Amino acid sequence: MPQNFILRSGDEFRIVAPSDSWKNEKVVTYKKAAERLIQAGYRVTYGHNVKSQDYLGTASAQLRADDLNNAFRDENVKVIMALHGGFFENEILPLLDWDMIKEHPKPFVGYSDNTVLVNALFAKTGEANYLGPNFGTLGYENGWEYGFTTLLKILKSDRPVQLIHNPEWYENDIRYTAAPWDVVQAGMANAVLLGGNSQSFYLLQGTEYQPDLNTNFILALEADELAGEYTLHEVTRSLESILQLPGAREHISGIFFGRFKSSSKVTDTDLAKIIREKWFGNIPVISNLDFGHTTPIATLPIGGMVKIEAQDNQVTIEFA
């Protein structure tokens, strides 16, 4: 987060669509999300091009980049949120005014394909941004409260914030009791957090938008449902691909696995086998965290310092 930033009553949230554009079938969800932010004391505005569609459900890369550049440039805007995820966010990276963005830092929040932007922002500006709920997520019927509360808690605080386990989670509006965070491997770490959706993080490899892995880092990793029964295969090869990047294996200090959808069939036992196979030493590895493609969705500071203490299912996670 930009140094000395604290969210205040009356601040403006700008909603942009850096990936997929406005979906008419989600209008009710967007309305509820806006109402919840307004009731909490904030203003909500939208990028000029959030409803534009050029191809495959999204606006042209230039229009999407224009909205993001304008949001960073506008001094009235204090927080930028992604409307939702999608597939094509990496198209806008060469079109962003990185010098201007570095001079006007402000929090950007989103998940899924927005993994691309939160990591690229850290790589290009050195500022932390947030893997957290998309705007549309705040309008869900179920599971929205935890994500909404934790997002505002982090944005409003100038002190370290501890991540709290949520007792329930939802998939397709079906409620599940949340198991405790699983300590796949015990350990302690204090390092920069990187990562997010594995398929999207992969898109940054070999580009100038990939964060430097030659410093200690904790990796957050989750996968959506697109791979179906092959989700575990996708996660395994994505993790291996990351580990083969220069500096990665030497500097990985911990791993967070986000919660997987039940349809993926990924279990804690599967994850433990992956970790044993790749042999990471004594770094902490934790699964079942509230990020990914189920709700609720916690807010994680990509590019921010994270402290982990994990011993025998006793886990403390603190964001600086």
Q: Which domains does the chain have, with CATH numbers?
A: 12-159 (3.40.50.10740), 162-319 (3.50.30.60)
The two three-digit tokens of residue 127, written as one number: 């500022």
**Range 223-233 average pLDDT:** 83
Is the link from the previous residue into 284 a cis peptide, with omega within 30 of 0?
Answer: no
| 8 A C-beta contact, residue 269 and residue 189 | no
Whole-angstrom distance, CA of residue 303 vs CA of residue 300: 9
Question: What share of the chain in percent tops pLDDT 90?
Answer: 82
Q: Which pLDDT does position 146 carry in this prediction?
A: 95
pLDDT digits 0-9 by tens, 258-306: 998 887 888 888 888 888 888 788 899 999 999 999 999 999 999 999 9
pLDDT digits 0-9 by tens, 230-258: 888 888 999 999 999 999 999 999 999 99
Parallel/antiparallel/unpaired status of strands 252-259 and 12-16: unpaired
Burial of residue 45 (CB within 10 Å: 0-12, 13-18, 19+) is: middle
pLDDT digits 0-9 by tens, 125-181: 999 999 999 999 999 999 999 999 999 999 998 888 999 999 999 998 899 999 899
Parallel/antiparallel/unpaired status of strands 43-46 and 12-16: parallel
**Annotated catalytic sites, by residue?**
112, 222, 293
In degrees rounded to 5, what are phi and psi of residue 73? -75, -30
Whether 4 has a pLDDT exceeding 80, the answer reads no
| 8 A C-beta contact, residue 80 and residue 52 | no
Parallel/antiparallel/unpaired status of strands 305-311 and 314-319: antiparallel
Mean pLDDT over each residue of the chain, to the nearest integer: 94
Whether 98 has a pLDDT exceeding 90, the answer reads yes
Q: Which residue matches tokens 């309008």?
A: 139
**Range 101-106 average pLDDT:** 96
